[in-house]
Structure formats: C-alpha cells, structure tokens
Structure 1
Amino acid sequence: MLNNDKTVVATGEEDNQVENNNGNEEKNQVKNDIVTINVSGVTYELDTDDIRRAPSSLIHKNVFGAGKYSLCFKRPVQSFEAVLAYYQTGDLHMPVSVCPGSFKTELEFWGLDPQIMTKCCYYRYLSFEDDQEILDKFHVHLFPEVGLEKEKHVWLPKLRKSLWNMLDFQDDRILTRLYFWLCTIMVILSVLTLALSSLPYFRRNLTKCELEEVLGMPVTSTEFTVNQNDSCTEPLPDSIYQTVVVEYERVNVTNRTDLQKNDILIAPDEYLKQKNSSDSDEKFDSERGFFDFNFDYADTVSDDTFVSHIFEALRPQTGIGKKTVRIQSVVYLDTILLGFFTADLLLRIFCCPSVGKYFLSTINVVDALVVLSAYAHIAINFLKKNEKYELSNFDLLEIFQVLRVIRLLRVVRDVTAFKVLSFSIKISLNDLLVLFLYLVLGIIIFANFIFFVESSEDIQSVPIGWWWAISTMTTVGYGDVVPKTLYGRLIGGVCAVSGVVMMALAIPVFVNTFLLLYAYAVLYKKSLNKPEDTHVFIHRQGRLRNKGIRSKGIMSNGAC
C-alpha cells in the first residue's frame, strides 16, 4: 500500500511538474513572440510574425539570425515609427516633417528598400532624389576645381600663372577685378560700335578719293565740276551719286541732232589731219577734239562735215547707288578695341596651361575667329581698295564681326546666375525637346487646316501657314497673315489656345529647375564665407562617410 501510495504520490508530483513545465514553455513561447525594441529611450514591442514581413531587414537578422529578442538602437524616433508602422500594417509612409534624405538614411540603416513606400510618398521621395542628382551635377558644373586649387598649374612660372588667373578671372585680387570690368566695358563698346555703325548718324558720304577708289577713275560729274585738288577728307554731297560719270559709251553720230548735251565728240584722224593742214592759222588741237568735255560741236563741225563723215561720240553713263562709310571716330574706336582684344588673345594663348584645351572651348574659338577675320578684312581692303565699298564674297569676313557679341558670354560665364541659366537649359533639354516636338506637331496640323479652309489669296501656300501657326502658337501674332473665314477663325482660336496650354505646361518645369539651382548656388556661395567649407565637406565627403557608417551599422549587433 505504501509503495502504491508512494507511487501514486510520485505520479502526482510528476504530473504537477509536467503541468508546470508546460506552463513555463507557454509563457516562454508567448514571451518569445514579442520583440522589445528600445529606440533612443523609447520602448516598442513588435510581434515576430510582423517581423517576418521584411526578411532582409536589420531587425529580422537580429531576431531570427542572432536570436535576440531585446534590441536597443540610438536612432531617430520619428523615422522608426514609420518603420514600425510598416511592420504592423504593411504600408510604408514617409513622415511629412522628415527630410527625404534623412528618411533614406534611416531606411538604409534598417535594411528596407525605398521602393516599398506607398505611391503617395514614393513620388515625393523620387522628386528629392532627382533634385539631389541634379544638384550633384550642378555642383561639379559650378565649381569644377573645388579642392584642387593648390595643385592646378603648379608647373607654370609664377608670372604666367598670375597673368592667367587675372586673364581668366580665377582669383579675387583687385587687379583681376579691374581687368574684369575693363573687359566688360570693352566688350560692351565692341557691341555698341557694331550696332551704332549701322545708324545713318554714324555714317558719312564718300570723299573724293574714296569715290575714285570705287569708280577706278577720276571723279567727273555732269552737273558740276569736281576739282581734282579737292580735299580727300570732306564728304561729297548726296547729289554726286546721281550725276557722277561711271563709264562712257561709244556711239556713232551722223547728224547734229543725235548729239546730247554731255556727249564728247571724237573726230576721225583723217579729218583732223586734213583740218590741221588746210587751216594752219586756226588754233585747232587734235588732242582736244578726242577727249574734251567743253567741245563746241556747233561751231567746230559744219553740217557738210556731218554729211560726208561719220563721227563717234563718248556718251557718259551716270549714277551709282549711295554709298556710305563709318565716321572716323567709330573707326578709331574700333581700331582701339581690335588692338585690345588682339593683346588679350595673345596673352591668353601665352599664359594658358594648355593651348589645346584652350581652343576646345567654343567661346575661345569664336573669339579667335573674330580677331583673325578682322585682320583678314583689313588686308583685303588694303589690297583691293574697291572691295570695301562693294558687295563681294569677302563680306563673309565682315559677317564674322557679328560674332563679337559672343564675347559677352566669356565675361558673364563666371556669374552665378548665368551658370544657373546655362545648366538649367542643359538639364531641361529633354523637356524643351518635348516642347519643340509639340510645337512642330501643332504647326503642321494647324497650317494644313488653315491652308485648305482659307482662300489662296490669304494663305498662298502651306509654308505661309507654317509661319501663321508659329506666330499664333507662340502668342506673338504679327498680323501679317490672318484668317478671314469662319472656319479659319475657329482653327485660329484652337491654335492660340493650344499654344497657351503648351507654354503653361512646359515653362514651369524649366522655371522650377532654375529656382532650385539658383537657391542652391546662393546658399553655397554664402557657405564659402565660413571658416570651413562645410558645404563641400557635407556634399562630397560626408556622403561617403555616412555610407561607411551605415554599412557598419547594418552589420553590427544592434546593441546600444
């Protein structure tokens, strides 16, 4: 009985022990289903089933890989709450008050892919990434040599290096600033001389010597006498262009009535010899009869002579188009400017670190072409004096002078706003291309429609319809070509509205990019005034450093 009782008792004790063990296992199982996470002093609990939602995350690796159910991290709480919400609900939202860049850093630390974000937040995240990519490229475009100032051009002699820094506006010395303003004034004067020389006020008529260069013969007028001793500095009157003798035409004269007022009579040699031998008392000069503006044919030649002889006469051809040249003050100023830019070009070529790289710049090539074409034009005018007054193939050299306005780009290329504008155009080139394609498509469609609905008198051809569509879609509206029918006006209204919509949709894309880059450039320029170039450190070195810290943090055990 005792044994049986003992056995029964033992059996009861074992049953109680088994029940206790089962209870402890259930408690441990319940306990292990909950993971405690301490983030910067704030404790959170997370179910293990929720953690399985992200197998590649840091928490999953610590719980199921390392078997840790109590984790501690020193990370921002607000970003972690968004991560915690993802584990609990399966939707990852980016807090409005958190910077997308900071949230990206936290997602990389917790081992979550940004692509799992919901569309409402992922669009804002992608916009931030695009802006950062643009800013990274713009930073290199704006300051391509940051951090390399001590190493560049070390092989150049000190004088050449100093001159190059001044000529290329690469330092902040007073001399460099003065030269910058001097170049700016010279470029503006160069553009002004080109523009003002086209005004009648800054042009004058040709002088006697210049008109002789045009004609290739002495100046002779049918209305008034031009003294061959006249000064070559005084411009001739406007009437000279209509009365100046350009050439002489040989005509046969058989009757006194055939002669005109300004004709020059040429007598045959036989008649002149006969006249001189028969009447030696009369003072008759044979040479005078051959080329004499004051030949008195009424008294010298009789009617019998006209009947028995055929005379020749030189009939003057008068009149040329009005020709003008620049006044001397403009010529002198242009010569001074040419000398300045010649010296500037030679000094740049002499002082630049690499001549080959110097001429890889479009602005430098254009500047050299303008200077060389100016000297080539001067040489041609010196060798062929009448070329500067006539239209010829050599005028192409003078057309190159129009490119002198490109020098303005060299002056303003270091201005922040210009850099922002040029880079904005470069970045927005795809958007501008889409705008251009939309414009071309609209031009083709509306031009064909307007050509078929309007009469041939109003729209003579489809290309004229193109011109009308361009001026309408761009909201210019010159008014030289207008639709007159009802259907034509309806098409014109749709065309105008389409142009407004096109501008309203495309221009803000470019404007937003410009504002983003300009704000960044202004802030960066202000940061340069600080003792340390903090922005460069963060922008270039900080990202690499932070990536290294994040990679180490992901591989760490997650302990505080």
Structure 2
Amino acid sequence: MEAALISSMDVTGGEQKGSPWAQPRRARPREAPPRWSDYQRDLTEDRRRAEYDHRRCRVVINVSGLKLETQPETLARFPNTLLGDPVRRQQYYDAERREYFFDRHRPSAEAILAFYQTGGKLHRPSEVPLDVFTDELRFFQLGDDVIEKYREKEGFSVASSQLSLNRDGCFGKLWLFLELPGSSVWAKLYAVLCVCFILLSISSLCLETLPGFSERAQNPEVEFTTEFFWIETVCVAWFTLEVVLRFVACPSKKDYFRSVLNVFDILAIVPYFITVSVVLASKGETSGLYRKASLTLRLMRLVRVLRIFKLSRYSEGLKMMGSTLAGSGSDIGMLLVFMVILVILFASAIYFVEQLQPEDSESHFSSIPDAFWWAIVTMVTLGYGDTYPQTGAGKFVGSLCALAGILTISLPVPVIVTQFDRLYNQRMEKDWEERTKKNVQGTEEVD
C-alpha cells in the first residue's frame, strides 16, 4: 500500500501525476547573445566617461598659443588668484576647444604656472623684462604680497632703504618738503637753492687753494678775515639749518642716522666748528701748538670735500650709481681681494726677476713694497712710466701683469651693469606708477 503510494508520487515535484494541483514544467529561458550595437553603445559611454574624467583632472591653459596643462588641485593652492578661482577664470574658457585662452605674454606663462606648482616660488625668466613680468603678475592677480616680495627680490622695493614718508601733520609735510623736491614748486625751489649752496661751498674750497689765496688760507691767524671764511660761514649756516630741520621732521630718529646721506650732511658741517675751535684755542700759544693747529685745519679741509656727496640727494643719476655700487659690494670686494693677490704676486715676481740684470745697471725696484705701485698702475693699464722693468724677463712679467689686470677688472663689469639696469628699470616703473596714479586722480576729479 505504501509502495503504491510512493510510486504514484512525482519524485521531482513531490505531487502525484495527474493531480489537479500539478504544475506543468516550464522551460528555462535562454539568454540572447549581445548585439553589436549594444557593444558600441557601451564603448561610447566608456569613452565619454574617460573624457569627462580627463577634463575633470586636467586644466588646459592656452597663453597666446602656448598650451600648458595642470591639475585643478594645483591651481587651487592659491584660490584668491585668477587661475586658482574657477569663477574668475570662467570668462576665459573656450567651450569649443575645452581650454582657457589668455592673450598674454607667452614667455611669462611658464614662470607663473611654476608659481602654483612649486607652492609659491616665483622666478622671472632672464629674457623677460622686469616691467612686463610685473604686469603679468598683476593680470593673473597673484596678490599684492607676492608682487611686493618679488619687487624686493628684484630690488624694486625701496621701502627698506628709504625712510617712510608720513604725509600727516606739520612734521610730515615738512619731511615731504625736504625729501621730495618734486612734491611742490616750493620744494623744487628749495632743492635748487641747496644745490647752489653746495656748489658755492665746493667752488670756495677749490679757489682757496690757488697760489694767490693759498698762503692766506693756510694761516689760521687770518682765517676770520678772509672772504672765503665768510662764504664758508654762510654755507655752513645753511647746511646746519638743513640738518636740524631734517632731524626734527624725520619720522624715525634711528633711521635718520642709518642714512648715509644724513651722515654726510653732518660730516659736512663738523669741520667748520672744529676749525673755529682750534683757531681760537691756538691764538697766543706757542709755535708748536700753532703748527699742530695748522695741521688739524688742513685735515679738516680734506673732510670738507665730502660735501660733494650732498649733490646725490638731488640727483637721481647719482643715487642710482651709489645704489649700484652698494648692491654690488660683494662683487667689488671679491675684485679687491683678487687685485691684492695679483699685486703681491707680480710685485714679488718683478722684484726678483729684475735682480738678475747686470751689476752695472740699477733696478727700479728696491723692494717688494716698492714694486706694489708698479703692479697697481700696470694692472689698471695706466702705466705712468716712473718705474718699469729693464730685463726681458721683467717685461714678460709686466705683460702678464697687464693681461691679468684686464681680465680681473672685466669680470665684475657685467654684474655691475646688470645691477644698474635693474635700478634703472625700477626708476622707470616708479615714474610710470606715479604718472598713472596722477592720471587716475585727475580722471576721478573730472568725474
């Protein structure tokens, strides 16, 4: 009975065959093979996704035909700049070419992009002029701090070397009047008057040494009665007034004494007061004290020559020359070291070589220090002819000395010229900024 019941059951379905609850077996559907159109659609979608990822990970910058590529994360390091802010640079986007186009200076583009890549290091290409590179920095909005650091690096910023001009208050206006001759008409007249006093003082110092006046000028007893003394008194009174006004109006008293021109101003008037004091103290004294006083006066007259440097305060060319020499101090120091080494070397060589000449002829070089003068005038190609080698070997040493001097002196010349060119461009940019500022102010007043 049980066996018949089991045999009547469907082994797979667990139900009896012929039962009304039995379900018909359904065939498993087959998967259709992929069509070629589906494959092309998937491939196109993958390409679009790859293109989107490429555009998202790369930013193409076209600067007058020069294409540069970088990542958005690189530009985002400086979000306050033109390239770092997506909103600011959106106006330069070319949707057809999928790039940002800038009609700007091409040689400066790589240096500006390197600023983002290096995290803020800015280096100007040697072939790019200073003013052009500065304009590019302003266009790409790298920021005033970055531009100011660049100007300091290139020597453009003069804030550290000049005293700040405080235009507020009476002392500020007085300081502006004294420091900037171009600030007003009265300031220009004052500068012209100062130059006249400087020239008068220097001319008096030179004329005082003429044969007709030198005897009286060197005699302290008649110092107070000569016309040169009264000219000197008037000039010193003017210079003293100028020093006092500058010191009173100076915003920083410490910076006042750090200025080389201010030190020259003080040294220009000190000899006069020392001279008057020495002459008054030596009157009626012994001849020994009188001779010492006379020697002191001669030394004081030598210090008066420093007044010629006061002209640099009113001459931009002299200022640039002084700044050039100051900026090239290390190169000039290196030149002097080489010169000292070569002078000692060739002076020693010429001394020992000239000792080999016959006994009947006398050498022009009695010692090595005596040959220093010959080595110096030979290296700078002056050749006074007061001392000269007489032997063939000595003439050969002299030729080498002259050649070494030419090569040594010519080495720092390009550095000094580059320094002067940099300061000249600095001055031109400063004048351009002042003219632009005046034009903007004039336009605002008209509006």
Aligned-partner Cα distance in 1 for 2:263–2:333 = 27
* Compared CA separation, residues 28 and 394, structure 1 to 2 (3 A): farther
Cross-structure match for 2:7: none
Matched residues in 2 for 1:82 and 1:478: separation? 70
Q: Which residue does 2:427 correspond to in 1?
A: 521
**Preserved CA contact (<8 Å) 2:324 2:416:** yes
Aligned to 1:179: 190
- Residues 75/124 of structure 1: CA separation in 2 closer, same or farther (3 Å cut): farther
Q: CA, structure 1 residues 24+509, in 2 after alignment: closer, same or farther (shift >3 Å)?
A: same
Contact 2:247 2:253 in 1 (8 A): yes
Mapped partners of 2:270, 2:347: distance in 1: 44
Structure 2 residue aligned with 1:192, among 192, 203, 224? 203
Give, in whole Å, the separation in 2 of the partners of 1:338 and 1:373.
Answer: 10
Check whether the contact 1:377–1:398 (CA below 8 A) recurs between aligned residues.
Answer: no
Q: State how 1:321-470 maps to structure 2 within 5 Å.
A: 328-353=226-251, 355=253, 357-385=255-283, 390-392=290-292, 395-396=295-296, 398-455=298-355, 457-470=363-376
Query: Following superposition of structure 1 onto structure 2, how do residues 110-129 of structure 1 map, counting pairs within 5 Å?
Result: 111=117
Offset at residue 382 of structure 1 (A): 2.6
Amino acid at match of 1:434: M
Tell whether the 8 Å contact from 1:39 to 1:74 is kept in structure 2 after alignment: no
* In 1: Cα distance, 2:328 partner to 2:215 partner: 48
Shift of 1:453: 0.9
Shift of 1:432: 1.9
Distance in 1 of aligned mates of 2:286 and 2:431: 50
Given the alignment, which residue of 110, 121, 126 partners 1:103?
110
* Uncovered stretches (5+) of structure 1, i.e. residues with no partner: 60-71, 84-95, 214-323, 535-560
Letter matched to residue 496 of structure 1: A
Cα shift at 1:510? 0.5
DSSP 3-state at the match of 1:529? helix
Contact 1:472/1:499 (CA < 8 Å) preserved in 2?
A: yes
Does the 8 A contact of 2:208 with 2:228 survive in 1?
A: yes
Contact 1:202-1:330 within 8 A present in 2 as well: no
Q: TM-score, normalised by structure 2?
A: 0.65
Q: Distance in 2 between matches of 1:439 and 1:81?
A: 62
Counterpart residue type for residue 526 of structure 1: W
The residue type equivalent to 2:195 in the other structure is T
Aligned to 1:16: 34
- Hey, what's the Cα distance between the residues in 2 that align with 1:205 and 1:363? 32
Question: Shift of the alpha carbon at 1:193?
Answer: 1.7
CA RMSD of aligned residues (A): 4.9
Give yes or no for contact 1:57–1:112 (8 Å, CA) kept in 2.
no
Task: Give deviations 1:108-136, integer Å, cap 9, x for gaps.
Answer: 45x47899x9xxx977589989x955665
For residue 457 of structure 1, report the CA deviation from its aligned partner: 2.2
SS in 2 for 1:460: coil
TM-superposed CA distance for 1:392, in Å, is 0.6
| Rg (Cα) greater in structure | 1
- Does structure 2 conserve the Cα–Cα contact (< 8 Å) formed by 1:352 and 1:358? yes
Provide the C-alpha distance between the structure 2 equivalents of 1:434 and 1:144, rounded to a whole number of angstroms: 27
> Structure 1 residues 349, 165: CA separation in 2 closer, same or farther (over 3 Å shift)?
same
Q: CA deviation at 1:402?
A: 2.6
Any idea what SS the aligned residue of 1:98 has? coil
Please give the secondary structure, in 1, of the residue aligned with 2:436: coil
* CA distance, structure 2, for counterparts of residue 5 and residue 122 of structure 1: 80
Quote the Cα distance in structure 2 between the aligned partners of 1:193 and 1:457: 45
Separation of aligned partners in 1, 2:74 and 2:307: 58
Change (3 A) 1:123 1:370: closer
What secondary structure sits across from 2:389 in the alignment?
coil
Per-residue Cα deviation, 1:323-369 (whole angstroms, up to 9, x for no partner): x9798322332232233333434444455455554344344344334
Amino acid at match of 1:333: I
Distance 2:120 2:180 in 1: 44
Equivalence map 1:145-544=2 (5 Å): 149-151=166-168, 154=169, 158=170, 162-169=173-180, 172-204=183-215, 328-353=226-251, 355=253, 357-385=255-283, 390-392=290-292, 395-396=295-296, 398-455=298-355, 457-531=363-437
Unaligned runs of 5+ in 2: 1-23, 77-88, 135-148, 356-361, 441-447
Q: Is the 8 A contact 1:443 1:470 kept in 2?
A: yes
Distance 2:273 2:120 in 1: 63
Shift of 1:200: 0.8
Partners of 2:278 and 2:75 lie apart in 1 by 79
Q: CA deviation at 1:175?
A: 2.5
Query: How far off is 1:55 after superposition?
Result: 11
Larger CA deviation: 440-449 vs 324-333: 324-333
Is the Cα–Cα contact under 8 Å of residues 324 and 419 in structure 2 kept in the other structure?
yes
| Counterpart contact for 2:379–2:402, Cα < 8 Å | yes
Measure the CA separation in 1 of the matches of 2:175 and 2:227.
33
Per the alignment, in what secondary structure is the counterpart of residue 435 of structure 2? coil
CA distance in 1, matches of 2:199, 2:438: 38
For the residues of structure 1 that align with 2:50 and 2:265, how far apart are their CA atoms?
Answer: 76
**Letter aligned with residue 431 of structure 1:** D
**Deviation digits for residues 493-538 of structure 1, max 9, x if unmatched?**
122122222233321221122023213302421331234588xxxx
TM-superposed CA distance for 1:425, in Å, is 1.8
Deviation at 1:192, TM superposition (A): 1.8
Distance 1:327 1:150 in 2: 45
Letter of the structure 2 residue corresponding to residue 179 of structure 1: Y
